[in-house]
């Protein structure tokens, strides 16, 4: 298998995030990708290739023009507000929540940042756009490899993507790589694409982008949003809308869920994917389901990722794998490589 590696990932280096009123060191760190790459090379899982520039069109196929316009210039505008801002990441301080208008774009940078954000946990930095744009190119290049006949390709990128919606950032995500890849596969002739999301957190962005569509299935196993981020989406009664009715499956599990219970949910997810009969699978691979993850609460062990890999590969589908979350830095390389093992 080839890994399409984002050589620009470390241009995004969030310093901190907010937790209970305090600024704490960011969990989504640059060395996450370094550890995965090191383990990939240690196990000789395959060639590491550079992404091809796909321009903006495939990103604009799933994100709004106004949001991408904002992302491209956001850092320069943040610093233009006050040169003293340069050492600090940008965070929103105001939001266009219910009853407030989100259809009129304010001139104020602070107001735009809030309009285009779902949380205050996602530091926007000097290189966030470039890292996320290159991440999309990784996912697109991996999709191209699969379209050209590769069984599997791995987009090794950060920051992650599955929380980013058509019109907003959040949950450490700016551009939704899995959605960009799924849409690209559709445009290049795959008639049905399934996205399976095994990150600990519900991929609210991916779900919402495809919610009313019958051509892209979204299936997710995740921490119950009643207690876990992203809180406001990911419930079991979200099954799709309009033409997309029945093309969304959420399998929320309580914090503290064991590996055996998680694997039961995986079988339900796999059955749904099989019944949809997609031509291609996009796998949103987060390893924050690990028992040692510092922000998540499932109980998977490192060897469980080998079993996960076997069950996923048994689908027998051409698969584009996109790296998402996972914050246990010491084990992230081993866990991710284990999850890829049956594909390699
Ligand atoms: C892609 C992805 O995995 N995004 C996750 C975003 C989670 N953001 C909320 C994190 C809350 C952190 N809580 C700190 C707990 C410290 N013990
Ligand atoms: Zn996650």
Q: How many domains does the chain have?
A: 1
Instruction: For residue 180, give every residue at least 6 positions away whose Cβ sits within 8 Å of its Cβ, in sequence order, or none.
Output: 58, 59, 61, 62, 136, 139, 140, 161
Q: In the prediction, which pLDDT does 176 show?
A: 99
Task: Over range 23-51, report the average pLDDT.
Answer: 98
149 in a domain, yes or no?
yes
Residues carrying an active site annotation = 163
112 — pLDDT class (breaks 50, 70, 90): very high
311 in a domain, yes or no?
yes
Q: In the prediction, which pLDDT does 179 show?
A: 99
112 in a domain, yes or no?
no
120 in a domain, yes or no?
no
Helix (H, G, I), strand (E, B) or coil at 142: helix
Percentage of the chain exceeding pLDDT 90: 99
Atom of ligand 1 nearest to the CA of 171: 6
- Give the number of other CB atoms < 10 A from CB of residue 274: 13
Task: Tell me what ipTM this predicted complex has.
Answer: 0.97
| pLDDT 10s digits, 324-336 | 999 999 999 999 9
Q: In the prediction, which pLDDT does 324 show?
A: 99
| pLDDT 10s digits, 196-249 | 999 999 999 999 999 999 999 999 999 999 999 999 999 999 999 999 999 999
How far apart are the C-alpha atoms of 130 and 116, rounded to whole Å? 17
The tokens describing 132, both together, are: 């996320």
How far apart are the C-alpha atoms of 210 and 2, rounded to whole Å? 27
What burial class does residue 237 get, using C-beta atoms within 10 Å of its C-beta: 0-12 exposed, 13-18 middle, 19+ buried? exposed
32 in a domain, yes or no?
yes
Atom of ligand 1 nearest to the CA of 170: 6
Helix (H, G, I), strand (E, B) or coil at 194: strand
Range of the domain at 147: 2-54+125-343
Q: What is the CATH number of the domain that holds 156?
A: 3.40.800.20
118 in a domain, yes or no?
no
Mutate to test the pocket of ligand 1, among 229, 293, 296 (most ligand atoms within 8 A of CB): 229
238 in a domain, yes or no?
yes
pTM: 0.98
| pLDDT 10s digits, 258-278 | 999 999 999 999 999 999 999
């Amino acid at each position: 298998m080839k890994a399409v590696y984002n050589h620009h990932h470390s241009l995004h280096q969030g310093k901190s995030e907010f937790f209970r009123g305090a600024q704490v060191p960011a969990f989504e760190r640059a060395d996450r990708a370094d550890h995965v790459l090191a383990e990939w090379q240690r196990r000789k899982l395959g060639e590491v290739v550079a992404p091809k520039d796909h321009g903006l069109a495939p990103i604009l196929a799933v994100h709004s023009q106004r949001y991408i316009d904002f992302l491209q210039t956001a850092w320069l505008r943040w610093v233009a507000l006050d040169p003293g801002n340069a050492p600090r990441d940008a965070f929103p301080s105001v939001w266009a929540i219910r009853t407030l208008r989100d259809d009129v774009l304010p001139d104020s940078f602070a107001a735009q940042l809030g309009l285009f954000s779902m949380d205050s946990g996602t530091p926007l930095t000097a290189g966030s756009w470039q890292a996320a744009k290159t991440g999309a190119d990784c996912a697109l290049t991996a999709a191209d490899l699969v379209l050209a006949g590769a069984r599997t390709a791995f987009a090794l990128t950060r920051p992650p993507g599955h929380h980013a919606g058509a019109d907003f950032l959040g949950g450490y995500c700016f551009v939704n790589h899995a959605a960009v890849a799924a849409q690209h596969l559709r445009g290049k002739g795959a008639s049905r694409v399934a996205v399976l999301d095994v990150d600990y957190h519900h991929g609210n962005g991916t779900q919402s982008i495809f919610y009313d569509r019958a051509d892209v299935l979204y299936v997710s196993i995740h921490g119950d949003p009643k207690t876990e981020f992203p809180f406001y989406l990911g419930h079991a009664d979200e099954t799709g809308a309009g033409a997309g009715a029945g093309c969304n499956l959420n399998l929320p599990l309580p914090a503290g869920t064991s590996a055996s219970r998680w694997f039961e949910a995986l079988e339900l997810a796999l059955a749904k994917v099989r019944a949809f009969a997609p031509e291609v699978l996009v796998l949103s691979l987060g390893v924050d389901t690990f028992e040692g993850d510092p922000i998540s609460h499932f109980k998977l062990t490192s060897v469980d990722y080998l079993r996960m890999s076997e069950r996923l590969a048994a689908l027998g589908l051409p698969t584009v794998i996109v790296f998402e979350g996972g914050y246990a830095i010491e084990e992230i390389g081993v866990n991710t490589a284990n999850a890829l093992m049956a594909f390699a």
